[in-house]
Structure 1
């Protein structure tokens, strides 16, 4: 009898498989990194290794792409959506998990059903809704950050709430009962017990909501204008202006894409341990 756990693959085969997976995943990133400091003509010819070192591409993009304003808009909108979505979802999930009332099951199934609706189908209704709201109330909607915030929050809340429902089901209800015996209210239990114990789930909900706002191009390109466009839209506009004609500014385009991807990578690295716990919560009962 072998004392070690039997492995599905020998160590040598595992190392080869991991190396191939890393190569497959990192090859596009390395190409973008090399192209961002390469000559545009060399990139157009299909070169992988830099023919020359041009770090000035990372300085020129702030004037060429106007990336600074786009990053500020993306951080403001996506960050506020992440914070509000996490806060609202944990409160909603607490009510759905700890209390029994008429329609509770219907709400849970509705949250799950909302995830099956493609976002592209909602583009025209959302635009018409904001346009009519501006006409009726006499306030600016199209071209504002708050309209984009409301749009992203609407799409982020169902998934965030379902994540928190799954996570809170794993918390022992005896904690609530013990707190109620000491005279704690539902709000005090939520604030002092549930939220401190739900950080992994909150992080997953917040990061999902942040990514929804950070990566979106479809709604942002319709709702925003030149002053409120996000980094993703600014990158799309820059890429569209490089099509046809002279040699595109490949170096600046790749540098812009890397800078836009950097905040997401930092988020994953900073909250990796919370992500693992939040995504696996409720998987084992």
Structure 2
């Protein structure tokens, strides 16, 4: 199909419009974060008349942002490591071994993505409460409860993606390694995992982002000691005032780990996602 001049112009305007929708909120966030509070409360200015970096310094004292940051790092990194580790073993088994119920298990894993997360909020809270009463295991308001919750939600998609990625890899790689003396586990660690690095990185980024930005379960399953960043940002809005410039500055700071993860994994991300979707 030959593109006409009018179609090319229409496509350019369409892409420009989509770009504007994406960039405009980011511009508002960044410019608001460098405005004094008096300018934020007044009429909105597209170009700030006064610039200040004070909000980026005050965000650490207005609320305990450093503590929330540490809590988010502990929960997110732990949930990501556990999810990816379990997903690797499960996906490898599903892609390499033919056992009864394998197809049904794949469908069950995929079907869990059909249900909204809020549907599991009350059941998880009740399960955690019953476990605390029965065996004394503290899950509500603890790191462990939030880690288990985030791992539960990211694990099905991780298994599905890595299963497709492992299935697209030739079995001859492992067979050659086992002929040379490696066992099944040794072939997985020394041969399969290095080749599957793009898919593993893609899944790791997905798990990290899913846990880092989650709000609903963190608002219920945490307390003042385990509160994460997504909930801590709400502390900039008190009953008497809202520190909009600090809230925007904190939002910029909170987005840095996610942005750094994308930049680090950029060359692996597209390859991993596309390869995992082949099967």
Secondary structure (helix, strand or coil) at the match of 1:225 reads: coil
Equivalent residue, structure 1, for 2:38: 41
Please report how far the alpha carbon of residue 49 of structure 1 lies from its aligned counterpart in structure 2 after TM superposition.
1.9
After superposition, the Cα gap between the structure-2 partners of 1:237 and 1:124, relative to the gap in structure 1 and judged at 3 Å, is farther
Contact residue 236 and residue 246 of structure 2 kept, 8 A: no
Equivalent residue, structure 1, for 2:131: 133
Contact residue 91 and residue 159 of structure 2 kept, 8 A: yes
- What pairs with 1:1-285 in structure 2 (closer than 5 Å)? 16-44=13-41, 45-239=43-237, 241=238, 245-246=240-241, 248-283=242-277
How many residues align structurally? 277
After superposition, the Cα gap between the structure-2 partners of 1:23 and 1:37, relative to the gap in structure 1 and judged at 3 Å, is same
Superposition TM-score, scaled by structure 1 size: 0.90
Give, in whole Å, the separation in 2 of the partners of 1:255 and 1:113.
Answer: 39
Please report how far the alpha carbon of residue 43 of structure 1 lies from its aligned counterpart in structure 2 after TM superposition.
2.3
Deviations 1:130-161 (A, max 9, x none): 11111111232221101111111111110101
Give, in whole Å, the separation in 1 of the partners of 2:133 and 2:270.
Answer: 46
Please report how far the alpha carbon of residue 273 of structure 1 lies from its aligned counterpart in structure 2 after TM superposition.
0.8
Contact residue 38 and residue 52 of structure 1 kept, 8 A: yes
Deviations 1:102-151 (A, max 9, x none): 11011100110011111101001111111111111123222110111111
Give, in whole Å, the separation in 2 of the partners of 1:71 and 1:142.
Answer: 20
Please report how far the alpha carbon of residue 41 of structure 1 lies from its aligned counterpart in structure 2 after TM superposition.
3.2
After superposition, the Cα gap between the structure-2 partners of 1:46 and 1:208, relative to the gap in structure 1 and judged at 3 Å, is same
After superposition, the Cα gap between the structure-2 partners of 1:146 and 1:282, relative to the gap in structure 1 and judged at 3 Å, is closer
Superposition TM-score, scaled by structure 2 size: 0.92
Please report how far the alpha carbon of residue 189 of structure 1 lies from its aligned counterpart in structure 2 after TM superposition.
1.1
Give, in whole Å, the separation in 2 of the partners of 1:201 and 1:129.
Answer: 33
Please report how far the alpha carbon of residue 223 of structure 1 lies from its aligned counterpart in structure 2 after TM superposition.
0.9
Please report how far the alpha carbon of residue 181 of structure 1 lies from its aligned counterpart in structure 2 after TM superposition.
2.4
Secondary structure (helix, strand or coil) at the match of 2:205 reads: helix
Deviations 1:49-106 (A, max 9, x none): 2131121110001011211111111111101111221121111111000001111011
Secondary structure (helix, strand or coil) at the match of 2:255 reads: helix
Secondary structure (helix, strand or coil) at the match of 1:115 reads: helix
**Unaligned 5+ runs, structure 2:** none
Please report how far the alpha carbon of residue 265 of structure 1 lies from its aligned counterpart in structure 2 after TM superposition.
0.9
After superposition, the Cα gap between the structure-2 partners of 1:94 and 1:8, relative to the gap in structure 1 and judged at 3 Å, is farther
Deviates more, 1:154-163 or 1:6-15: 6-15
Deviates more, 1:36-45 or 1:50-59: 36-45
Please report how far the alpha carbon of residue 284 of structure 1 lies from its aligned counterpart in structure 2 after TM superposition.
5.0
After superposition, the Cα gap between the structure-2 partners of 1:6 and 1:277, relative to the gap in structure 1 and judged at 3 Å, is farther
Give, in whole Å, the separation in 2 of the partners of 1:11 and 1:101.
Answer: 52
